[in-house]
Amino acid sequence: MQKFDAFTGNLAVATAMKQINPDVCAAYPITPSTEIMMIFADFVSNGEVNTELVTVESEHSAMSACIGASLAGGRVMTATSSAGLAYMWELLSVASGLRCPIVMTCVNRALSAPLNIHCDHSDAMGARDTGWIQIFSENAQEAYDNVIQAIRIAEHKDVKLPVMVCVDGFIISHSYEKMQYMEDKEVRDFVGEFKPYKSLLNVEKPETFGAMVLPNYYMEFKRQVREGMERARQVILEVGEEFSQRFGRYYSNFENYMLDDADFVFVVMNSAAGTVKHVVKNLREKGIKAGVLKPRVFRPFPFKEIADTLKNSKIICVLDRAETFGAEGGPLYLEIKSALQTIESNPTVINRIFGLGQRDFLPYHVENVFKEMRNYLDSGNIKMFDYVNLRD
Amino acid sequence: MEGKLVLNFKELAERYEKEKEMFTRGHRLCAGCGAPIALRHMFMAAYPDNVVVSNATGCVEVSTTLYPYTSWRVPYIHTAFENAAATISGVEAMYKSLKRQGKINKDIKFIAVGGDGGTYDIGFQALSGAMERRHNILFVCYNNEAYMNTGIQRSSATPFGASTTTAPAGKKVPGKLQHRKDLTAIIAEHKPDYVAQASINNPRDFMTKVRKALDKNGPSFINVLAPCPRGWQHPSELTVEMAQIAVDACIWPLYEVDEGYHWKVNYIPKEKRPVKDWLEKQGRFKHLFSPKYEGLIEEIQKYVDREWEILLKKAEVFA
């Protein structure tokens, strides 16, 4: 039986964690994800979970402890943001390379300098190539649902990779919204028991984890991570399908919002997708064929399916909430451009960077970009790269 | 019985003739390396406990886990350089969690192993955190007084006047200009259950300390001196002797701090040897004997004397 209540994004994630009941959590406070572990610590103190909570002295140690705990044969979760994720960075590829099915919520926040505690995706994008599956969440509901599904995806025998669930800092983490949630038992049934593949605690059959591997074998290990990531494509769909059958909310690799006949397409992830959908809905009411493609899974990037969906559009604006200084455009833009190389049709793709450090991104900003796109169809002129809502 | 070796030396020797060692031969550490001596003694003392080891990046790690081979007959994990203590914290936390939930019932001890770089310097924060959180772990530092794995760079464990590749002795600079960090005392001030300084020249003392540490129900730390023929520039057959002179000259005193407060010096040499005896046998201190750097040996002697006096006082006052 599902119920409705008011949740912030952080409360939604902490609630999912309580219902999953991991064996170990190791975490270090950082805004805006701190609250997840504060709420979860209450669950620990009140005996509502079996979790051993390790309140480490840094994010570097948080991820180190998570890896040790994971290889000791149990379910492990954590959360972080921004500089915390950056500080963990060294261990991110250790977690994937050692095939630890850790589930971590990344409450997205900008990177310094200048110091900014507010939302953008530069933290998660800096970790995009570390072998972590990355799933993005538009709102508290999706954050809750994604964290629960992430357990199944990470621990699947064909995957065995860590999963990062991304949620926009403050915009979602600290805003209340109406959310549907399951009973504890329903969630525990869905995630199932943790089945260790190998364990450091298996003293009868000792194994060496994290060996030194020279050029003669190293590449094969990395190929195995890629293979796990490739198999995750199917697993993510299967888990999403089962989740929707049990709980009635459907999840795929990306959300297709009014895309089927769309000439004008916006590609955008996380909370800003809500704003863009609102504008697109208004455009549709005026008879303009606009649509939104909201990637949910950024790693493994569903390039084939996305290219197939976008092939008949005329102009695509990729909205990036992160910079890639020196590249042709933002990280999402580069993925979309690359995906479109796999098909013959070649829609125009422009890039707009928005919302860095949580700069306002409002419906009229989207409308202004749309005007540029419409003008392009008449004039053939448009800036390929630009910022949204930036001083001259 | 706390700190009592389960087997005596004769029994240990017999057993090790028949049974497998937990740290095997065939590793690629240098001839005369002090670290594997410490590790073999550590495992002898740990017998018959189940042990899981977390190892920092360093000489021991790269030389003992060269895929597809391993020298470890116990479960072993290496994740990075600065986090052996944090990694073992996670392993121990999972053990506690699974035990509380009734999913595991055997008894296991957890040991982190790191060199002085992975303990004194880059690993210091993780070690301090693990000690403060009071995990039931033993951290063993095999201290060879510099970053030997990356090619003999100075660390905060390197003694004053030693020539290293990042603080080389030259025409103007006599090697390292700072005395080493007193890490054993710093960890003792975290008040873990047990802290000790040991040396590979005295296996009975070291093994008793390992046993004592493992018999505690909380955090413990042992700093064991493990000379490095390459870095210290002494003949490889003199490794144990180098450790012996360091102890006899009170450069590396053997002592322990029990339950956070009880300081005890485990070995007081009948005749304290001059530091010169130790310095002159090592190439890294060769320049100190040139007229250009006259007076520095006396300075080192003064420093060692003062530190030894302070330690004896501590042991007297906080017995």
C-alpha triplet A131, A137, A143: angle, nearest 5°: 100
Measured CA to CA in angstroms, residue A328 lies from A127, A347, A385 at distances of 19, 17, 8
Question: What per-residue confidence (pLDDT) applies to A345?
Answer: 83
First to last CA, chain B: 21
- Where do we find the tokens 């012996």? B244
Distance CA B130, CA B204 (A): 27
Confidence of residue B1 (pLDDT cuts 50, 70, 90): low
Task: Check if the beta carbon of residue A208 is closer than 8 Å to that of residue B64.
Answer: no
Question: What per-residue confidence (pLDDT) applies to B2?
Answer: 67
Boundary (domain end) residue, out of A247, A274, A296:
A247
C-alpha triplet A352, A106, A224: angle, nearest 5°: 95
Q: Does position A311 have pLDDT exceeding 90, yes or no?
A: yes
Residue of B180, B157, B177, B159 lying closest to B167 (CA atoms): B177
Task: Check if the beta carbon of residue B37 is closer than 8 Å to that of residue B240.
Answer: yes
The number of folded domains in chain A is: 2
A274 and A216 both lie in a single domain: no
Confidence of residue B89 (pLDDT cuts 50, 70, 90): very high
Report yes or no: B98 at the A interface, CB cutoff 8 Å. Answer: yes
Question: What per-residue confidence (pLDDT) applies to B16?
Answer: 75
Residues of A in contact with B77 (CB under 8 A): 68, 71, 200, 208-210
Q: Is B168 exposed, middle or buried (0-12, 13-18, 19+ CB in 10 A)?
A: middle
Q: Tell me the pLDDT tens digit for each residue of A215-242.
A: 999 999 999 999 999 999 999 999 999 9
Residue A283: which domain range? Answer: 254-387
Distance CA A348, CA A264 (A): 10
Residues of B in contact with A76 (CB under 8 A): 90, 94
A292 and A241 both lie in a single domain: no
Distance CA A164, CA A166 (A): 6
Q: Does A91 sit within 8 Å of B80, measured CB to CB?
A: yes
Report yes or no: B77 at the A interface, CB cutoff 8 Å. Answer: yes
Task: Supply the DSSP symbol for A358.
Answer: G
Residue A66 Cα, gap to closest chain B Cα (Å):
6
Q: What is the CATH number of the domain that holds A86?
A: 3.40.50.970
Task: Check if the beta carbon of residue A172 is closer than 8 Å to that of residue A271.
Answer: yes
Residues of A in contact with B68 (CB under 8 A): 211, 217
A34 and A120 both lie in a single domain: yes
Q: Does A98 sit within 8 Å of B126, measured CB to CB?
A: no
Confidence of residue B14 (pLDDT cuts 50, 70, 90): confident
A83 and A139 both lie in a single domain: yes
Residue A324 Cα, gap to closest chain B Cα (Å):
28
**Which amino acid is residue B118, in one-letter code?**
G
How many A×B Cβ pairs under 8 Å? 166
The SS3 of residue A351 is strand
**Residue B106 dihedral angles phi and psi, to the nearest 5°:** -75, 160
- Where do we find the tokens 């090619």? B151
% of chain B at pLDDT higher than 90 = 92
User: In order of start, what are the domains of chain B with their CATH numbers?
Assistant: 2-317 (3.40.50.970)
Q: Tell me the pLDDT tens digit for each residue of A238-286.
A: 999 999 999 999 999 999 999 999 999 999 999 999 999 999 999 999 9
A116 and A226 both lie in a single domain: yes
Judge if pTM exceeds 0.80: yes
A290 and A378 both lie in a single domain: yes
DSSP A168-233: ETTTTTT--EEEEE--HHHHHHHH-----SS-TT-TTS--EES-B--TTTHHHHHHHHHHHHHHHH
Confidence of residue A376 (pLDDT cuts 50, 70, 90): very high
Question: What per-residue confidence (pLDDT) applies to B228?
Answer: 98
Q: Tell me the pLDDT tens digit for each residue of A330-369.
A: 999 999 999 999 998 889 999 999 999 999 999 999 999 9
A317 and A340 both lie in a single domain: yes
Token duo for residue A346: 């070649």
Question: What per-residue confidence (pLDDT) applies to A346?
Answer: 83
Q: Tell me the pLDDT tens digit for each residue of A24-77.
A: 999 999 999 999 999 999 999 999 999 999 999 999 999 999 999 999 999 999
**Which residues touch A8 (CB under 8 Å, ≥6 apart)?**
A35, A140, A172, A173, A174, A175, A176, A177
A94 and A146 both lie in a single domain: yes
**Which residues touch B10 (CB under 8 Å, ≥6 apart)?**
none
Q: What is the CATH number of the domain that holds A291?
A: 3.40.50.920
> Choosing among B49, B64, B88, B97, which should be mutated to test the A contact, i.e. which has the most A CBs within 10 A?
B97
Residues of A in contact with B74 (CB under 8 A): 203, 206
Question: Among B52, B67, B86, whose Cβ lies nearest the Cβ of A211?
Answer: B67
Q: Tell me the pLDDT tens digit for each residue of B287-300.
A: 999 999 999 999 99
A113 and A199 both lie in a single domain: yes
Residue of A231, A319, A269, A265 lying closest to A142 (CA atoms): A269
- Residue B9's CB: how many other CB atoms inside 10 A? 12
**Which residues touch A206 (CB under 8 Å, ≥6 apart)?**
B72, B73, B74, B75, B76
Q: Does A206 sit within 8 Å of B74, measured CB to CB?
A: yes
**Which residues touch B140 (CB under 8 Å, ≥6 apart)?**
B38, B42, B111, B112, B113, B114, B210, B221, B222, B224
Distance CA A220, CA A222 (A): 5
Average pLDDT over residues B97-124: 98
Average pLDDT over residues B73-90: 98
A345 and A367 both lie in a single domain: yes
Question: Among A58, A200, A213, whose Cβ lies nearest the Cβ of B75?
Answer: A200
Boundary (domain end) residue, out of A247, A275, A290:
A247
Residue B133 Cα, gap to closest chain A Cα (Å):
8
**Which residues touch A79 (CB under 8 Å, ≥6 apart)?**
A13, A27, A33, A36, A37, A104, A105, A106, A107
Token duo for residue B278: 């130790």
Confidence of residue B317 (pLDDT cuts 50, 70, 90): very high
A214 and A295 both lie in a single domain: no
Distance CA B169, CA B153 (A): 12
Measured CA to CA in angstroms, residue B188 lies from B131, B140, B183 at distances of 10, 14, 8
With respect to residue A392, please indicate whether it lies within any of the assigned structural domains.
Answer: no
Boundary (domain end) residue, out of A209, A225, A247:
A247
A169 and A42 both lie in a single domain: yes
Beta strands per DSSP E along A307-347? 315-320
Beta bridge pairs of residue A104: A78, A164
Residues of B in contact with A51 (CB under 8 A): 97
